[in-house]
Amino acid sequence: MKRIAVLVSGGGTNLQALIDAEHNGLFGENGKITLVIASKPGVYALERAANNDIPSMVIPRKEYPDAASYTKAVTDALLKEKADIVVYAGFMTILDRQITEAFPYKMINVHPALIPSFCGKGYYGLHVHEEALKRGVKLSGATVHFVTEECDGGPIILQKAVEVKNGDTPETLQKRIMEQAEWKILPEAVRLLCEDKVTVKDGIATVKDE
């Protein structure tokens, strides 16, 4: 059974999708959410963990002077937890290579756009949807990818496209992308990792799911 740690910074709707998936048996005996780590105190994601009896801890980004010291604190916590899979679920803090070296191809992130569009530094949360609407794209969506040293640049595991509609605001587009894409492909990607069905070669991830 793989121990799944989930990193959060906000409302935690993606965490909820993972909790629901686990409760519905999607991971079977292959995976279990054993820890939630929040980068801020008081976020609603922590309540979701508590409501479901999942241990949680806060490692406040504000209490660390730089990315290196913060990354060390998070990496140490995940090593202590013996995490097999680490999921960034709306985790808004960029960590450095200490963590990617400790968990190579064991960490995944959900991004609310079709990478390589609208991604990289500064593209997070509602900003992503603001930029997509400014550019007038007719399709956006979500991507689950491995976390590597390059922000939003790791091998892509799953993507799902979602229509942009006339009159969309960043908020309506975000909601549609969450409902139709993120909350589906994130649990699915975790299932695939739990079942060892994702391989990476030459920077390309391949899903073997027959």
What are the catalytic residues? 111
Summarize as ranges the residues that interact with ligand GAR (CB under 6 A): 10-14, 45, 89-90, 110-112, 124-125, 128, 178, 182
Instruction: Specify the residue, 125 or 153, whose C-beta has the smaller distance to ligand GAR.
Output: 125
Instruction: Specify the residue, 156 or 178, whose C-beta has the smaller distance to ligand GAR.
Output: 178
Question: What is the C-alpha separation between 54 and 130, in angstroms, rounded?
Answer: 34
CB-closest chain residue to ligand GAR: 90
Instruction: Specify the residue, 84 or 152, whose C-beta has the smaller distance to ligand GAR.
Output: 152
Q: How far is the CB of 53 from ligand GAR (least distance, A)?
A: 20
Q: How far is the CB of 52 from ligand GAR (least distance, A)?
A: 15
Q: Quick one: CA dihedral 18, 197, 76, 68, positive or negative? A: negative
Instruction: Specify the residue, 89 or 194, whose C-beta has the smaller distance to ligand GAR.
Output: 89
Q: How far is the CB of 126 from ligand GAR (least distance, A)?
A: 8
Amino acid 3 reads R
CB 2 within 8 A of CB 193: yes
Q: How far is the CB of 43 from ligand GAR (least distance, A)?
A: 8
